[in-house]
Structure 1
C-alpha cells in the first residue's frame, strides 16, 4: 500500500466541516482539522501510487470548501 499525507487549506471557518466530509471518503485513513498554515491534514492510501493519484486525490479535491491541497507521499512506505 502507498500512503501519503495531504495538507489542505479551506475556506475560512470550514475546517471542521471539511474534515468530517473527507473522513468518510474511500482511501482516507484519517482526517484531522488543525491550526497553522493548513486547516486539515489527511492520511490517505491506495494499492499503488497511480491509484492514489487517479482515484483518491481527485475525490478529496472535489469536496466543497477546499481551496488548496498539497500531497506528500510517505517515502518509507512507497513501493515501486
Structure 2
C-alpha cells in the first residue's frame, strides 16, 4: 500500500467545497482544511505508485476549485 499527502491550493472561498468533494473519492482516506500557503491537505492510499498517480491525475486534480497540488509520497525508512 502506498500513502501520500497532497497539499492543495483552491480558488478563494472554495476550500470547504473541495474538502467535501475529496472526501467522497475512493482512495482519499482523509481531507482537512488548513491555513497557510495551502488550503486543504488530503491523505491518499493506493495499491501502487502507478495507482497513486492515476488517483491524483484522474480524480483529485479534476475536483472543481483546485488550482494547484503538491503530492508528497510517504517513505518508510
The alignment's C-alpha RMSD in Å is: 1.0
Count of aligned residue pairs for this structure pair:
76
Gaps (5+ residues) in structure 2? none
**1:11-22 map, 5 Å:** 11-22=11-22
Q: Secondary structure at the match of 2:76?
A: helix
Give the match's secondary structure for 1:26: coil
TM-score computed with the length of structure 1 as normaliser: 0.91
Structure 2 SS opposite 1:76: coil
Structure 1: stretches of 5+ with no match in the other structure: none
SS across alignment from 2:36: coil
Cα distance in 1 for residues equivalent to 2:50 and 2:21: 23
2:68 is the alignment partner of 1:68: yes
Q: CA deviation at 1:26?
A: 1.0
**TM-score with structure 2 length normalisation?**
0.95
Alignment of 1:1-80 (within 5 A): 1-54=1-54, 56-58=55-57, 59-76=59-76
What is the deviation of 1:61?
A: 0.1
Task: Provide the rounded CA distance (Å) in 2 between the counterparts of 1:71 and 1:30.
Answer: 14
In the TM superposition, structure 1's runs of 4+ consecutive aligned residues that sit over 4 Å from their partners are none
